[in-house]
Amino acid sequence: MLHHYTDLIRKFDAVPIEKIASFFHDNADQIDTLIQLYQAYNKHILHAQSNRIQELKQAIISITADDAWSDMEGLELVYEDFSPAMMITGGFASGAGEALHTFNLFLTAPDQLSWSHYEDQIISRYTKHEPVIQGRRTILPIGTIPGHDTSAILHALEDAYTLLSELTVSNFLPTLTSH
């Protein structure tokens, strides 16, 4: 059935607007209803994802004892309190009938200088994906986790946080000696 709807959309895309104007005019009420259903569907997904992000945020704040985690208006879980600058971001992707299909986790450096500070250690830890350069930013996907697997999501967030924290601290604290 889904294939049928996909074909219908492709056919509409291929027809000039002048030729389907009468269809839109004659079926305006049904089209409006379809649009309202789609908007309600999207609202449901965003609500479920936002609630879940809030739950994860509270849990990871408790685990890391660091309240600098933010939720970017409920759409992404973000931590960006590292120096040099590096950001942990995670958010949900929906699937058919599943608002929390996967949780996708990324590390993002805003510039090459920041990326080069962490690169060797990050690349040796997260070997599945290659970093993607978008303008000045370098983005490394570090995990795609089933959206309902809370312990795996929190473990991945904690692992990334711990790694970056260790790299930040180890390079900026002076060596302690007893002279």
Query: pLDDT for 94-145, tens place per residue?
Result: 998 899 999 999 999 999 999 999 999 999 999 999 999 999 999 999 999 9
Which pLDDT band, with edges at 50, 70 and 90, does 176 fall under?
Answer: low
Q: Which residues contact 93 (CB under 8 A, 6 or more apart)?
A: 101, 102, 104, 147
CA distances from 2 to 5, 9, 40 (A): 5, 11, 19
- Residue 160 phi, psi (nearest 5): -65, -45
Mean pLDDT score across all residues of the chain:
90
Stated pTM of the model: 0.82
For residues 13 and 144, the model is more confident at: 144
> Residue 177 has what pLDDT?
55
Most confident of 7-16, 27-36, 134-143: 134-143
Q: Which residues contact 92 (CB under 8 A, 6 or more apart)?
A: 49, 52, 53, 99, 100, 101, 102, 103, 104, 147
Contact between 46 and 54 (Cβ < 8 Å):
no
Q: Which residues contact 122 (CB under 8 A, 6 or more apart)?
A: 107, 140, 163
Edge-to-edge order in the sheet of strand 137-146: 77-79, 87-95, 98-109, 137-146, 132-134
| 65-83 average pLDDT score | 93
Which pLDDT band, with edges at 50, 70 and 90, does 53 fall under?
Answer: very high
Helix/strand/coil for 177: coil
